Chains A and B, each alone.
Chain A
């Protein structure tokens, strides 16, 4: 058995959130990823964000595909239902789950192999359909489970652990998400929890398709000189446009943000995202500007992070489909079946 349960005991004095849950209540099983894997830092950030937001753990559905990243839902929110679907097809499964019950929170966890290659189409279409979800790509530019092949997000010219140079152009999922109409688009770094935790919290609060690309170095196969997804490279080239707080009607989340102007974005549910702007000229409401900004910085080898675009008035798929507020999975025959009298009329019309 490769399954490792996490011990239940914990310090009785652990701080509790508004619902009375401790951070431990948001944890899952013990990770079986490599020690030092960036994905584990993202797991910790998800746990932190959900704790801070006082989410009921069991009201989250966590859905993934196949791969290192897709293993991680086992490591957070142990009282939630998880779904390890098939490679690259997380978005369709999540879309279906969301259609069945609009009342849950949907966390889609994917990887760069999952979302930028086999599942590129599903990634694109779930974004353009405005599925209400937080779609996190744990992006390490490499296939870890199959030992080191380039993924489609590997930068051209970067080198594999074996010294092979990548000659293919990289897919920038953030640029694609912007182009497809995602209403919350962010990029972050697994080693920057200060930035990542509130980004995840804000994405969860956002109604519509929220997308976060998290550069997450693979400690085993992509953390060497020549890699553009290594810890050192990302730290050296990280260009953050903002830091943020999420306010949900109580004390703001304490974060260590850089000085600058503040811009407050009110979300559909009344929560507020306070953006501490680092780049004073950056406007997170300008989709086209964000796309240009990304491209300019990418040309200079810089990795732009932060909340790159947000539309606080976004709609989601359920609004587009005009579905009832009651979750579809709770409707029974009396609400769904037109009955025999209607069928008799249908029969009469077919003669």
Chain B
């Protein structure tokens, strides 16, 4: 009989819930994560869900991490196996010494278990059937009952869960009391029939601080509200739909005229992505702050208009919540795979501004900033989130806003300026920064009007196919892009404790896993300087970083190392010096993966004696 050697850990383990889509488990699972937060212990939860409506498998993983690691860890210490369809895979995925929690109402053959894990059975169906008659109630309360059992097994404070239930069902006393009752049904059964607590435990701590727990999409939508977006046009697509839905909810709450009750916003669900970006461009041309939210397939459809935005110089904000492509790919799995598609979207010579937030707090800040940038630069700004940030709750610093902040509406030629006799040429580079002035329609009876078009024109917006005129315009667009380098968020550098010839570049949702991987790499004896890129065009410090290191790893979540391609393309660097570290199976990249990939490469370079390596 193998020794189970059960895992023992306080505030540092991974619980995964395996459920059936549509079973109503999401609420209970999220409450589990929130309850641990209320203990003052950071958590990092992730939805892992298939692209279907109902009946197929879904998982929810909660990483309990007092150290505050917010990336995925990999591995499962405790599996709450509530889905018979995925049983074998779920059981197989448990770490040696881990725990299997299951509904023991019906006996299972011993072959369905493993000898090296601890099996915990609770007759959930029997308990619910003896308590509830309504089939839906039986289903929903079963989830709360297993939450109650887990609270006993993991030594959680039931009062904190009751507090959460109270907040969720505030004003709905009947639901509140029945949920609390279900919680205690499960908890009491576990306390009376099982050895509680087990080796995995939750202990109160103070590591959460004032951080907030929010999804990236919701934070980005809030950024759009604070950034002054008044027009939103969108077309539903996973994983971006919740951006528009959250924007709608936020606007309904915060954007009505108190006297008339009328809306200070307009939200249109377009007939497709083409219409959505068309509406955004029309609204922005007319001086409103407008945005759309989409994902890779939507970007594909929008590219013609994106080219128009670039060439006709019309502001637009696109929030791209990336998912695994190409084509329909894996619609509910995460990747960072639209970097090249967005950087050079549309035909002809184009370059677009990309922003890469690492978490919801930056998603909020960058979303608000995107509207300033779009109007300042008069072009499309891409906010590049991904499913991992967008659709998962993440702990992050509180959102902040400076009330003194005014919107940067960019270079607008007003009626007064025209009246003063200022020379208005729509595409004149007055200030040498490549950015021309524009006028809004309806500005002046006789001055300042112009024709916007995607065809070539001269500095005064007059149609022209003269080669020199075209080239002059294209060069100005390059100047404008260079100007953007100093307007977008700069990269953040963190150096290793000891001088090193090796660096790593990463961005976006890879950030928390990278932060954790540094510690693992140091344990293997590898020192790396880090540069987190936050925007394209690349700031000059990117080139400096490349020049200062012999090898630079580029960590990203796509097959073809797209950021690396972009860096090579834009900096003219020898590609050999940029080592791709790619992860693209649709799951979030983990610290373990990064540390192994970089560590193995470093070992190969023999920068550290292999005997020092720690697996």
Q: Scan residues 44-89 of chain A and give those whose CB is less than 8 A from a CB of chain B.
A: 56-59, 61, 63, 73-74, 78-86, 89
State whether the Cβ of A99 lies closer than 8 Å to any Cβ in chain B. Answer: yes
State whether the Cβ of A288 lies closer than 8 Å to any Cβ in chain B. Answer: no
| Number of residue pairs A-B, CB distance < 8 angstroms | 234
Q: Which residues of B are found within 8 Å of A347, using beta-carbon distances? A: 210, 212, 398-399
The interface on chain B, measured as residues whose beta carbon lies within 8 A of the other chain's beta carbons, has a size of 77
Whether A96 touches B264, Cβ cut-off 8 Å, given contacts A81-B441, A324-B257, A342-B254, is: no
B287 near A329: Cβ-Cβ < 8 Å: yes
Per-position binary interface string of chain B over residues 240-283, scored 1 when its CB falls under 8 Å from any chain A CB and 0 otherwise: 00000000000000110100111111111011101111111111
State whether the Cβ of A294 lies closer than 8 Å to any Cβ in chain B. Answer: no
State whether the Cβ of A92 lies closer than 8 Å to any Cβ in chain B. Answer: yes
Whether A89 touches B449, Cβ cut-off 8 Å, given contacts A81-B441, A97-B285, is: no
Whether A3 touches B464, Cβ cut-off 8 Å, given contacts A85-B454, A92-B270, is: yes
B290 near A100: Cβ-Cβ < 8 Å: yes
State whether the Cβ of A200 lies closer than 8 Å to any Cβ in chain B. Answer: no
A101 near B441: Cβ-Cβ < 8 Å: yes
Task: Report how far A98 CA is from B398 CA in the complex, Å.
Answer: 36
B403 near A93: Cβ-Cβ < 8 Å: no
Task: Report how far A88 CA is from B400 CA in the complex, Å.
Answer: 42
Q: Which residues of B are found within 8 Å of A346, using beta-carbon distances? A: 222, 399
Task: Flag the segment in A136-144, A155-163, A248-256, A333-341 that touches B.
Answer: A333-341
For residue A8, give the distance in angstroms from its CB to the closest CB of chain B.
11
State whether the Cβ of A35 lies closer than 8 Å to any Cβ in chain B. Answer: no
- Tell me the nearest residue of chain B to A1, going by C-beta: B464
State whether the Cβ of B230 lies closer than 8 Å to any Cβ in chain A. Answer: yes
Per-position binary interface string of chain B over residues 556-589, scored 1 when its CB falls under 8 Å from any chain A CB and 0 otherwise: 0000000000000000000000000000000000
Per-position binary interface string of chain A over residues 303-347, scored 1 when its CB falls under 8 Å from any chain B CB and 0 otherwise: 000000000000000100111110011111101111110111011
Q: Which residues of A are found within 8 Å of B279, using beta-carbon distances? A: 92-93, 95-96, 99
Task: Report how far A113 CA is from B127 CA in the complex, Å.
Answer: 67
A129 near B452: Cβ-Cβ < 8 Å: no
Q: Scan residues 87-121 of chain A and give those whose CB is less than 8 A from a CB of chain B.
A: 89, 91-101, 103-104, 121
Q: Which residues of A are found within 8 Å of B260, using beta-carbon distances? A: 324-325
Q: Which residues of A are found within 8 Å of B405, using beta-carbon distances? A: 333
B464 near A336: Cβ-Cβ < 8 Å: no
B278 near A85: Cβ-Cβ < 8 Å: yes
Whether A125 touches B399, Cβ cut-off 8 Å, given contacts A103-B442, A328-B230, is: no
A324 near B264: Cβ-Cβ < 8 Å: yes
Q: Which residues of B are found within 8 Å of A336, using beta-carbon distances? A: 225, 228, 230, 255, 264
For residue B205, give the distance in angstroms from its CB to the closest CB of chain A.
15
Q: Out of A318, A342, A351, which one reaches B212, CB within 8 Å?
A: A351
B400 near A323: Cβ-Cβ < 8 Å: no
Task: Report how far A124 CA is from B272 CA in the complex, Å.
Answer: 12
Q: A58-B446, A323-B262 are in contact. List 14 more A-B contacts (CB 8 A).
A: A61-B442, A83-B453, A84-B455, A86-B304, A92-B278, A93-B285, A96-B279, A99-B231, A100-B286, A101-B440, A121-B275, A333-B407, A336-B255, A351-B208
25 A-B pairs in the complex with CB atoms less than 8 angstroms apart: A56-B445, A61-B286, A74-B463, A80-B441, A82-B449, A83-B285, A85-B454, A92-B277, A95-B268, A99-B266, A99-B279, A100-B231, A100-B283, A100-B286, A101-B287, A321-B263, A321-B267, A323-B265, A329-B283, A332-B407, A336-B264, A339-B401, A340-B400, A343-B399, A346-B399
The list of the 4 closest CB pairs from A to B, nearest first, reads A96-B282, A92-B278, A100-B288, A329-B287
